Chain A
Amino acid sequence: MSFEELEHTADVLMRVRGADLAELFAEAGRAMFHVMYGPCEDKGVERRIEIEAENLESLLIDYLSELLFVTEVENTVFCTFDVDLRGTRLSAVLRGEPFDPARHSAGALIKGISYFGLEIVKEEEGYVVEIIFDI
């Protein structure tokens, strides 16, 4: 559905919403890449990841941490996140483009995903979570 940046003096705090959990995870990925790189297009780069954790919050952190790892070592910028979520098992197909310093250097390097205040909350119209990215 959406993500928005909230006020935070030191780091980047994002509020992410999704109609269901899979969409929440997809939007969280989009939010993170928005912070890091700004604009991105699907230019045919595709990557699949699979993650399992003991609860949804840990799964979200592991998933975002895996995205950080992949983008850094593979020099790719992702813009679409096709997430399949079964319980606390996730598989996702990521699509995007190669990192291009000329287009992708306006963002902020994220060092890690904080556990602080991270709680996935069910609301009437879906799910919401607030995530602090350490930059």
Chain B
Amino acid sequence: MLTGINKIGDLEWEVPIGYVPDMRVPGRFFLSRRLAETLEEGAVRQLANVATLPGIVKHSLAMPDIHWGYGFPIGGVAAFDMTEGVISPGGVGFDINCGVRLITTPLIEADLAGKKRELIERLFDAVPTGVGAKSAMRISNKDLTAVMVDGARWAVERGLGTEADLVRCEGEGAMPGADPGAVSAKARQRGLPQLGTLGAGNHFLEVQAAREIVDPEAAKAFGIAEGQVCFMVHCGSRGLGHQVATDHLRTLEGALPKYGIRLPDRQLACAPIDSPEGRAYYGGMVSAANYAWANRQVIMHEARKVFAHLFGIDYDEMRLIYDVAHNVAKFERHDVDGVSTEVCVHRKGATRAFGPGTPGVPGEYAAVGQPVIIPGSMGTSSYLLHGTTTAMQKTWGSTCHGAGRVLSRSKAKKEIRGKELRERLAGEGILVRAHSDSVLAEEAPDVYKPSGEVVRVVHEAGLSNVVARLDPLGVIKG
């Protein structure tokens, strides 16, 4: 167990001012005793480092999937005052608007009998994955500008989805304030051939079954029933987003002396929100975030076509439940000491979890709260939850984003054989398709914290409540 941190509740811990020099506010994180045993000192130090940033409000926060990253810890959340505060790519990450969407189908598990292998193969053919993946779509630079401004709507207007899809995305599938002028020619060059591609690493498209409904009322509102076959898309803004992050990190790092900002970690490079550099990063980040929403929309469209063709079901019968971002900075209104105040909330590996009645939650879900989608690792359960009032009060309406790794990739490769893993999962009824078995080892279920434990903590801490558990049936990986 780490020293210098205080347990202040059943699942709540405080990192006091002074844990690292120059902290302006305390740190606070949510973790069970069991998960605390795997907590890295480096992650707590990164949480404390965030507390040194100018204009941070109340606390530097981390969700129960906290682990050691760079800049902010993964699972990190922080809000900044719009006047005194800063915006930092280190609080968003390189994969801007990495996120998840969950779609239901009218099928039940039995409908997949004898067809599962073909389904997975067809999905693998329809959605380009892996390093070097290129899209079958040909878009112009003008199209790309429109993608960066309109997000998922760009795709829907071209027939790649329905109007109803847009309502069921965080921010309706686009953030306002895009500035395509803040996206470099290099970023554009990377983004042009990649729209509709999944990428690599932990990104996936997974076919799942809703095996347990925990909250029937919320499940009804979200349109999910026990036994239903669903699919989940996890990916982000691809090379375009990576380049936007790289370019602006560089500019912001160079501008630190201009604003007299001293940092314990250069990866926290930042600028005042309303400065030329801060505004440029925000406009570029929004452009990349919107690209990511369009990307997930295109991927969902391709997957819907595969399901429709293979099972003879209607495109419109596959309902998007919701799409969440988990790497982004947003201007949001929150209660600060009893006053509704606009702040800049950074979520790095954390999911927005707005509670019932909060503006921004789709009308059909208003009474329940925003759907929250927590993907499991390959072979383990994923969860559908809803946002809560407690999250609004304690975490700027935020919750965890996944399981969080416990085993390094190098150890995973040494300890786990991809081929054996693929066969083991097949034995459990989970078909895995990737370009190479070695990528499977790095993403094996054993390298992550148990997703159920992370979800239990956010549920018991009241940051979001479980609605349904989804188990994997088949997955395509990059």
**How many A-B contacts if CB must be within 8 Å?**
115
Per-residue 0/1 for B186-198: is the Cβ within 8 Å of any A Cβ (1 yes, 0 no)?
Answer: 1001100000000
Residue in B closest to A64 when the chains form the complex, CB atoms: B246
Q: Write the nearest CB–CB distance from A96 to chain B, whole angstroms.
A: 14
A111 near B94 with CB under 8 A, answer yes
Query: Complex: how many Å from CA A72 to CA B435?
Result: 17
Residues on B with beta carbons closer than 8 Å to the beta carbon of A114? 70-71, 267
Check A116/B239 contact, CB under 8 A, given A5-B410, A10-B69.
Answer: no
Please report the C-alpha to C-alpha distance between residue A134 and residue B131 in the assembled complex, in whole angstroms: 14
Interface size class of A (residues with CB under 8 A): 35 or more
Q: Is A111 in contact with B132, judged by CB distance below 8 angstroms? A: no
B372 to chain A, nearest CB (A): 22
Give every chain B residue within 8 A of A37 (Cβ-Cβ). Answer: 131
Query: Is A73 part of the binding interface, using a Cβ–Cβ cutoff of 8 Å?
Result: yes
Q: Does B170 contact A (CB under 8 A)?
A: no
Task: Mark contacts of A2-43 with chain B using CB atoms, 8 A cut-off: 1 yes-contact digit, 0 otherwise.
Answer: 000111111110000000000000000000000011000000
Find chain B residues with CB under 8 A from A72 CB: 132, 190, 239
A108 on the B face (CB < 8 A): yes
Mostly, the B contact residues are mixed
Contact call A9/B70, Cβ cutoff below 8 A? no
Contacts A10-B69, A106-B439 given; does A134 touch B130 at CB 8 Å:
no
Chain B residues whose CB sits within 8 angstroms of the CB of A87 once the complex forms: none
Closest to B265 in A: A116
B78 interface hit (Cβ, 8 Å): no
Do A106 and B266 touch across chains, with their CB atoms under 8 A apart?
A: no
Given A9-B407, A69-B190, A112-B94, 9 additional A-B pairs, CB 8 A: A7-B411, A72-B239, A73-B190, A107-B131, A113-B246, A114-B71, A115-B70, A115-B267, A134-B94
* 11 A-B pairs with C-beta separation under 8 A: A9-B408, A10-B67, A10-B68, A10-B74, A11-B70, A12-B409, A36-B131, A108-B409, A112-B249, A115-B265, A116-B267
